[in-house]
Amino acid sequence: PSTPKKEPKTAEPTSTAAKKPFGERTETRVQMSRMRLRIAERLKDAQNTAAMLTTFNEIDMSTIMAVRSKYKDAFLEKHGVKLGFMSAFVAASAKGLMAHPQVNGQIDGKEIVYHDYADISVAVATPTGLVTPVLRNTESMSFHEIEAEIAALGRKARDGKIAIEDMLGGTFTISNGGVYGSLMGTPILNPPQTAILGMHGIFKRPVAVGDSIEIRPMMYVALTYDHRLIDGSDAVLFLRKIKSGVEDPTTLLLDL
């Protein structure tokens, strides 16, 4: 009698994971750039020196968004730059700094230095780190001048052409984490400045408008300040000044 043929054995599937030792991982160690080291040093100095406190508010962006939507094309055609929200925040901050000189001041040893101008640093993210180029004399700048200067400084920063002179001498800083979708945060002071405004993302939320509930585009804003120089009342009133200016840009145009 013939013997039955044996079926050929099929190869068992091999696991790629089985070939790799369990838990094998790698690490990469790189040298910190000079800019990153300097940023870390300045931020830590601010924490160690200033008595930092943060106050918050929220801004209804409905009006400024409507203005932007209505005039953005005409603005671009006439001035050659896009109309964004930063011009309103810079203009409102400049008005607030002129009305609240403590927020626009700085501590120098045992003296307080007050500035009669508003040089606002605007935080810009670059591949090598965060830089803060300065807009000079914003208290006398128009919306299109602010937008043009921000665009020019942003290009220089991203192209790595920003100079030290572009980042010196600011009296106040605006940081916009909203471009990354941040809901809320507490910015750290940019010494020797004594205050910094943190902008955040715009999100639709139900809010009370009169006696009714409406869905409005809202933004949380945060003001971190040095309590050694700025009292809580000044910080709150300053932030309310920014809120009123952005919610009703007419007050900025009429210098109210």
Q: Which residues are catalytic?
A: 227, 231
The type of residue at 144 is: H
Give me the amino acid identity at 82: K
User: Which DSSP symbol is given to 22?
Assistant: T
The interaxial angle of helices 62-79 and 143-158, nearest 10 deg, is 80
Residue 120 and residue 195: Cα distance in Å, rounded?
Answer: 11
How many whole angstroms from its chain centre is CA 69? Answer: 22
Q: Are 99 and 241 in contact (CB under 8 A)?
A: yes
As a whole number of angstroms, the distance between CA 176 and CA 50 comes to 22
Q: Are 112 and 171 in contact (CB under 8 A)?
A: no
How far apart, in whole angstroms, are the C-alpha atoms of residue 243 and residue 58?
7
Using alpha carbons only, give the angle 164, 168, 171 rounded to the nearest 5 degrees. 160
